[in-house]
Structure 1
Amino acid sequence: MQLIWLRSDLRQHDNTALTAAAERGPTVAVYLLSPEQWQEHDDAPCKVDFWLRNLRKLSKTLGELNIPLLIRSAPHWDQAPAVLLELCRDLQVEAVHVNEEYGVHESRRDAAVARALQAEGIAFHSYLDQLLFKPGSVLTKTGTYFQVFSQFRKVCYERLHRSMPSLIKAPSAQAPLNIASDPVPDSIKGFPTPGQALRNLWPAGETEAQRRLDTFADVQIDYYKSERDFPAKPGTSQLSAYLAAGVISPRQCLHAALQSNQGEFESGKVGAVTWINELLWREFYKHILVGYPRVSRHRAFRPETEALAWRDAPQELAAWQEARTGLPIIDAAMRQLLETGWMHNRLRMVVAMFLTKNLLIDWREGERFFMRHLIDGDLAANNGGWQWSASTGTDAAPYFRIFNPISQSEKFDSEGLFIKHWLPELAGLNKKEVHNPASAGGLFGVADYPPPIVNLSTSRERALTAFKNLPSRASVGEGHE
């Protein structure tokens, strides 16, 4: 008997471990519910709900292949070895198959499970699946992990020219086993079920993920470069939640983009090239997670920035979290996050820079808040984005480049459509005033809308001073863990 242990790979097609297991003999699938671990990782209730909904769909499609899906409980990953070992004994499993996951806790969990199984003569096979390239295989000439995206991308391009990762054939139906699938729970204690409006925005299942990918590749990808920065336009693929849960694979995304661009990834349609670059950014941040484990441990990528004098400003942090900053583009973006479990990528940078530069609040506060609300929460991408914005990370924005939320708003939401959608209280303002209601005159600005909690120019100077006062990198040393 073969066992596929499903994690962030909730799909039947192009699933390396699933196909490998099925090729070796009768296969059973298992999923572990680990609510204590999820809470430790700040996984959002809407994300956990999304996993459960996708599991339900997957259970049905696996059922058509006669592969039963079992659900087991290992509240904390420390319990995973014992739980899986017991299951393997019960079913007389010869080998367990998994797709690799990255991050310190994930690696430790898998190593512990492999040791426990191998001690009992059960094989443990892990496969490259959620990335195009194995971490450790894309390195600098001196054999270290890249710290700069453009150099990383160049090597990825060279590798793609030599060989393109191929799609894995889905398994065929097997002979029925005398094992019933377990019901997938509707909810998990500690993770309240989100409202139906949010769930409707993110239908579960591979069919939906594939539909989104096809629609994007057929229609939208040509305009991706020109429209992706405008939050009021449907310029992005809306696939991030499906990629994070593994309902679709980066290989499937890459193949769809190449197909729309006559097989080219460096030339041809600029929209397709730009989107493939975004897939490589996702790849880059996962490689960083493996190469520099300190980022998995809430540490800054640039050690010298650990000395930054972040402000303890709970009321300002709360205003940012609750969309009450008095800066419309920030508040509209935060409302989008709170209500949909997702935020437009351009706005993720804008709100992150506002928190870390204008409010000078530690990026880790923002990173945690995002993880607790994002349906597409992904440690590598979220941490990478936050550290980029805070100028503490790889390839970071230079500390003196601080987005001005008002000018970002005027540039990327010039008509105020996005703002007015999420802040209907500002619907009466004209397209000039809507970006900065405080300048609209009137003694008290706009009724029902707060004045800005911070002066953008003086807070910018405060941030510049804090960064200038950091010790130089040389004196800190490039401490690698």
Structure 2
Amino acid sequence: MRHLVWFRTDLRVADNPALYEAAADGTEVEAVYIDCPGQWQEHGKSAMQRDFLSRNLQALNEQLAQLGIPLTVLTVDTFAEVPGLLARWLEERTFDALYANREIGIDERRRDKAVQQILPIPCRVYNGDCVVDHGSLITRGGDMFKVFTPFAKSWLARLSAGGYRLLPMPAALGEPLPFKPPNLSGERVSSEAWPAGEAAAAERLTQFCQLSLRDYGERRDFPADDGTSSLSPYLALGIMSPNQCLAAIEAELEQLPFSRGEPGFAWLNELIWREFYRHLLVAFPRLSMGRAFKPDTEALPWSRDDEGFRVWCEGQTGYPIVDAAMRCLKQTGWMHNRLRMIVASFLTKDLHIDWRRGEAWFMSCLIDGELAANNGGWQWAAGTGADAAPYFRVFNPTTQGERFDAEGDFIRRWLPELTEVPARMIHAPHDWLDNQSPGHGYPKPMVDHGRARLHAIAMFDALKDREAV
């Protein structure tokens, strides 16, 4: 028997259901990765994440070679070409089955359906990206949960009753093989700040659990504090699995936390949010198509202010916490989660610009860009999504800065023009700058937050009035 494993967003050998099942009986195994640079561009993914992908594909290739599993990298432009490519490639080879882990975007699902229809061998697909399989948590009425809290309650009950399954790395299937590291084409921006490979991801996970897991709930909202896990780039490409995260929590705490207040629960809750958004993406394909989760919000009169959008992207809004966050994103490809909420609220509720533009900008910059989480976060902030913030909840960028970067340490790191501003003035620095540093160049606030907030609320109120007619 010869099995073929198709790697996608699951670039790991441990806790990889497709690889584990393909190699379970000592069967001869080969692996394939299909690069689609045109599709990467069509999905608007970042050049930094592409570099990270290339480096992790090299690390995976080396691991597979040590297990005696050869990896072939094939290239076509888009997903539409994948079925024909695979069919032609398999004509020259003999395999008894194709193994893969499920991908959940609508384009990926359509690609996989076309592959299954054209290939002459069975395709066996597994859940490799969630603790609880997509679609298996439903309401009493048989529908997908649309609110996070009952979803989380059901998710925790399932985990408590059945635990989780952590699969080992398969045993070597032969002598180590020589390999040539693959190097993906296309635009790349260095991702060297993020070590590549499963070992690096595991080390970062262990370090986070040892140093920050217990007080994550108290530290996670402060961007100047290194209190978050920074594991999202590894989860986005499947270099690490959520089951491995659970195992690390359990290893550190000796048990999994199941209720608020328990050490480690705050981070576990973030993993549940990740799963919530992924389950939603499967249950509601329109989320993959640029549509709002709440259909009525498609009628919102978003602004077409191109100049305002440009200023937001460049971090020149005149609101220090927003500008520092946006410049950090552009330079590093990553942004702290609290800051993601602040800048998303600013774009949609202060500038009244369509959340889809912000979602696309984030995807084009982020090293951890991933459709379900990015879409879920943006729709939450905009008030258009499942379990979204109430439309009347509008983040005040000044008070958010005062609360979560009180001394201005994060702001000064990314806004050198504010280096000398004292902490008591850092979140509204313009009077101090005008008096102490003429010609400073830092812009005045581009909008009045109070007025912008009222306009945002009026936009949503108008939707309610339409429904009442």
Both proteins in one fold, TM over 0.5: yes
2:256 to 235, 244, 264: 264
| Residues 63, 224 of structure 1: alpha-carbon distance in 2 compared, 3 angstrom cutoff | same
Matches within 5 A, 1:137-216: 137-176=136-175, 181=179, 183-185=181-183, 187-189=184-186, 191=187, 193-195=188-190, 199-216=191-208
Q: Deviations over 1:133-176 (max 9, x none)?
A: 11111000000000000000010111111111111121111125
Whether contact under 8 Å (2:351, 2:452) holds in the other structure is yes
Matches within 5 A, 1:231-250: 231-250=223-242
Letter of the aligned partner of 1:13 in structure 2? Answer: A
Q: Deviations over 1:97-155 (max 9, x none)?
A: 000110211111111111111xx2x1100001100111111000000000000000010
Deviation at 1:369, TM superposition (A): 0.2
Whether contact under 8 Å (2:4, 2:98) holds in the other structure is yes
Distance 2:461 2:147 in 1: 22
Deviation at 1:262, TM superposition (A): 2.6
Q: Is 2:292 the partner of 1:290?
A: no
- Structure 1: which 5+ residue stretches go unaligned? 477-481
The residue number in structure 2 matching 1:448 is 441
Distance 1:96 1:184 in 2: 22
TM-score by length of 1: 0.94
Letter of the aligned partner of 1:259 in structure 2? Answer: A
| Residues 439, 464 of structure 1: alpha-carbon distance in 2 compared, 3 angstrom cutoff | farther
Matches within 5 A, 1:115-126: 115-117=117-119, 120=120, 122-126=121-125
Distance 2:174 2:256 in 1: 41
Whether contact under 8 Å (2:62, 2:181) holds in the other structure is no
Range with greater deviation from structure 2 (21-30 or 219-228) = 21-30
Letter of the aligned partner of 1:341 in structure 2? Answer: G
Distance 1:16 1:242 in 2: 17
Matches within 5 A, 1:49-64: 49-64=51-66
- When the two chains are superposed, the root-mean-square deviation of aligned CA atoms in Å is 1.7
Letter of the aligned partner of 1:234 in structure 2? Answer: D
Distance 1:149 1:143 in 2: 16
Q: Deviations over 1:27-54 (max 9, x none)?
A: 1111111011111111111111101000
Deviation at 1:472, TM superposition (A): 5.7
Letter of the aligned partner of 1:112 in structure 2? Answer: A
Deviation at 1:424, TM superposition (A): 1.3
Q: Deviations over 1:400-436 (max 9, x none)?
A: 1100010000000001000000111101000021111
Distance 1:280 1:436 in 2: 36
Whether contact under 8 Å (1:9, 1:247) holds in the other structure is yes
The residue number in structure 1 matching 2:378 is 386
Q: Deviations over 1:36-75 (max 9, x none)?
A: 1111111111111101000101111111111111000121
Distance 2:433 2:364 in 1: 38
Range with greater deviation from structure 2 (422-431 or 256-265) = 256-265
Report SS of the residue matched to 1:125.
Answer: strand
1:274 to 249, 266, 270: 266
| Residues 228, 126 of structure 1: alpha-carbon distance in 2 compared, 3 angstrom cutoff | same
The residue number in structure 2 matching 1:416 is 408
Whether contact under 8 Å (2:320, 2:411) holds in the other structure is yes
Report SS of the residue matched to 2:395.
Answer: coil
Q: Is 2:455 the partner of 1:462?
A: yes
TM-score by length of 2: 0.96
Identical-residue share of aligned pairs (%): 44
